[in-house]
A = this chain, B = another copy of it.
Amino acid sequence: MGADSQVESGLKLMPKFDVNGLLPCVTIDAATQRVLMVGYMNEEALRLTISTKRATYFTRSRKKIWVKGESSGHFQEVVELLVDCDQDCIVLKVNQLGAACHTGFPSCFYRRLKPGTEEELEFLGDEKQFDPAKVYSV
């Protein structure tokens, strides 16, 4: 097999990080299949996610390793890790403790484009799981 073929058809994890050393990770609730968030991982974050079974990202804003839940307690326990055809993207199925989003909503995707419009949003109607003002004022 050529290198491309091994990436697509092989049985070895060969993650392809981008020019910044990152790959996107789509994190999904294992119970409901709902997309909770999209984060980024560098090589260390991916290795830690696999070895500790806790979702670990690299924050592009703070430029550091970030164990999801380390300050909020809202950890994500890894259930399954999928990789795509060219191994430049991960899907992570997790058991989410608390809420995934810093706003208090269970998922970061709490709004959708209002049907029939081109730039108007509407809330999906989720209930907030916590009050972010209280969490972040500690």
Contact = CB atoms under 8 A, between A and B. Distances in A.
A102 interface: yes
Given A50-B113, A51-B118, A122-B11, A26 B33 contact: no
Contact of A13 (B10, B35, B83, B113): B113
A112 interface: yes
- Size range of the interface on A? 35 or more
Interface string A96-113: 000001110100111111
Number of this chain's copies in the assembly equals 2
A112 B120 CA distance: 37
Contacts of A114: 11
Interface string A24-67: 10101000011101100000000100110000000000000000
Contact of A26 (B13, B38, B105): B38
Contacts of A89: 38, 108
Contact of A91 (B11, B13, B80, B109): B109
6 contacts: A26-B26, A28-B35, A81-B112, A82-B113, A83-B112, A84-B108
